[in-house]
Amino acid sequence: MKDLKSNVKLVGRVFLNRYFLFVLNGFLLAAALLFYMHDAYEHNIVTALSSNIKRQYSKYNSEDSLLIGGLRLTHYLEERRVIVFGPEEINDGYTGILQPLTNDLLTAKGACGSYALVLGSILKDIGFKIRFAQMKVDNTWGGHIIIEAKTKQGWVALDPSFNLAFVKKDGTLASFQDVHSDWNYFKNQLPDNYKREYAYDDVRYTNWEKIPVILPGIRFILNHTIGEEATNEMSIRVFFLRKYRILYYIMLSLYLYSWYRIVRRYARKRNAVRKTLTSQPGKRMVYRRA
């Protein structure tokens, strides 16, 4: 037990050593800069795409036109990536958490998930409130992923995998619930290559069981703050569209905290020396490393 305590203290001294903190600071700063540049690169690409859509479709002065423009562009880009890369697997070394949006944009290897990520990013940059809709297919959640965007008339369902937006009898775009409630009418608008099992049976917007304990805990808190209905309609994935910006802020915060620890340690040591000199006027000052 004593050996364990001494080892823990040794590790603590190493990690709080000022030289280690300086090395750690360099690593954190480099990581923060890397994430910042990666986020800026991806954001510039998305902004260029959204600007192109606004330039072409803003003249129609309609929210639906912008949504259709984003839908068409996403399908056009991703469909051609599928043709170019085919079944070839691409090992990029990224994990699911760090997977760049540019990988989905340039390879479409995430199937409907890639289509949805690209369209969601573009529409969010234009200014739409969006959410990822996980369709229930053959009693399996997430069998197909689409995007829903909010307009002045309500939510609109957009399927970039098939360049599909359903139109209601009044000429406006339909929501998921509209299609679900009257599938016999809307299925007549399906393209020939559509997979008929994607029949809009049911939908969810967040898999609250994906990360045990953490997500159920967040859901419990939200249920008692914003209400169960609002929680069920919340798409957490939207908050992580610009994941590299989040990682940048995390690394920057850790970098600043590390500097705070260094400065605090140095100030505490200097104060201790001053107190010693004040209490013992004749004592010579001896400098020691902080």
pLDDT tens digits in sequence order for the chain, 290 residues long: 555 555 555 555 555 566 777 788 889 999 999 999 999 999 999 999 999 999 999 888 899 999 999 999 999 999 998 888 877 777 666 656 677 888 888 888 888 999 999 999 999 999 999 999 999 999 899 999 999 999 998 999 999 999 999 999 999 999 999 999 999 999 999 999 999 999 999 999 999 998 899 999 999 999 999 999 999 999 999 999 999 999 999 999 999 988 887 788 777 777 776 776 666 665 555 555 54
Coil/strand/helix, residue 208 = coil
Encode pLDDT of 159-190 as tens digits. Answer: 999 999 999 999 999 999 999 999 999 999 99
Number of H helices, E strands in the chain: 10, 4
Model confidence, pTM: 0.84
Compute the Cα dihedral for 174, 177, 182, 188 and give only its sign. Answer: positive
d(CA 282, CA 248) in angstroms, rounded, equals 51
Q: For residue 90, report the phi and psi dihedrals to the nearest 5 degrees.
A: -120, 115
E-state strands within 105-245: 129-137, 140-151, 154-158, 203-204
Task: Scan for tokens 């007549």, then name that residue.
Answer: 188
Pairing of strands 154-158, 140-151: antiparallel
Paired residues of 149 in beta bridges? 130, 156
Coil/strand/helix, residue 143 = strand
User: Which residues contact residue 259 at a Cβ distance below 8 angstroms, ignoring those fewer than 6 apart?
Assistant: 25
Task: Scan for tokens 């914003």, then name that residue.
Answer: 226
Q: Do the beta carbons of residue 67 and residue 95 sit within 8 Å?
A: no
Domain parsing of the chain, residue ranges: 2-263
- Copy the structure tokens of residue 87: 């079944």
